[in-house]
Amino acid sequence: MNALPEIKKMETAHKTTIDFGRGTIGDGSFAVIAGPCAVESREQMFMTAKVVRDLGSVFMRGGTFKPRTMPYSFQGLGVDGLYILDETRKQYDVVVTTEVMSTEMVEVVAKHVDILQIGSRNMQNFDLLKKVGRTSTPVILKRGLSSTIEEWLAAAEYIMCEGNKKVILCERGIRTFEKYTRNTLDLSAVLAVKQISHLPVIVDPSHGTGRKDMILPMARAAMAIGADGIMIEVHPRPEEALSDGEQSINFDHFTQLMQEVERLKKVFHYC
């Protein structure tokens, strides 16, 4: 089932939905995937998971392998972080996603999480795409830093051609000449992909802007164009975060965001 717009007979009337039992993505609802950029401790993840669940979401993120621009930056807890994620999902009954960076780690990571994430820097790591395509674990595929819509959808094809049809696309901002924000969040691409592909599309306003004050407004915008959800960075104490604290919101701001999401679901006709 092809995602590319060049395939003239693609049946866009069909829409891919992914049911996790506790929640669904792509069924006309609006998913909020929330959690810290990096898993730092069991206490941090348990605190965040409780807030996420109490505010009505079942989806949670947390990075254990961190592809950082500088080699001196925090690189994540690795396998130890996977164990914390596994404990968190069992303790709080949340659907957990984390990034996988190498083909060798795909099977290991898949044992501990519900959704594999392919980061923007690995969007065209074709061996990795094929490897996750041979699993039955759903995949979030982030758009590459400088990738076109066609390249993004072609990367999804690599996964689906191996048999895994459970792909969720994530717009996380692209690199342009603009430096005021971390990236340029391309919401027009979300609308375009929704028109030409059957795959669900979520938006990452945290990486898309790099600014915590822009997360709520861009979440509103994502809902207005019909995105299937958002992925945002939430941390108990963003000022102490080991990774991306400047684009993470605290629990109070997350509460405000979730209240706004609930209000706007009726406005934008989400189920």
pTM: 0.93
pLDDT digit string, tens, across residues 177-193? 999 999 999 999 999 99
Assign residue 85 the CATH number of its domain.
Answer: 3.20.20.70
Q: Does a structural domain hold residue 5?
A: no
Query: From CA 253, how far away is CA 239, in angstroms rounded?
Result: 14
Question: Which residue range is the domain that position 119 belongs to?
Answer: 18-264
Q: Does a structural domain hold residue 10?
A: no
pLDDT digit string, tens, across residues 54-89? 999 999 999 998 776 778 667 779 999 999 999 999
State the average pLDDT for the chain.
94
pLDDT digit string, tens, across residues 145-203? 999 999 999 999 999 999 999 999 999 999 999 999 999 999 999 999 999 999 999 99
Q: Does a structural domain hold residue 101?
A: yes
* pLDDT at residue 91 greater than cutoff 50: yes
Q: Does a structural domain hold residue 3?
A: no
Query: From CA 156, how far away is CA 166, in angstroms rounded?
Result: 10
Q: Does a structural domain hold residue 271?
A: no
Q: Does a structural domain hold residue 69?
A: yes
The dihedral built from the CA positions of residue 129, 102, 201 and 14, taken in this order, carries a sign that is positive
- The secondary element (H helix, E strand) that includes residue 233 is strand 229-233
The number of folded domains in the chain is 1
User: Per-residue b/e over 226-239, b at no fewer than 16 CB within 10 Å?
Assistant: bbbbbbbbbbbebe
* pLDDT at residue 9 greater than cutoff 90: no
* pLDDT at residue 6 greater than cutoff 50: no
Q: Does a structural domain hold residue 99?
A: yes
Q: Does a structural domain hold residue 9?
A: no
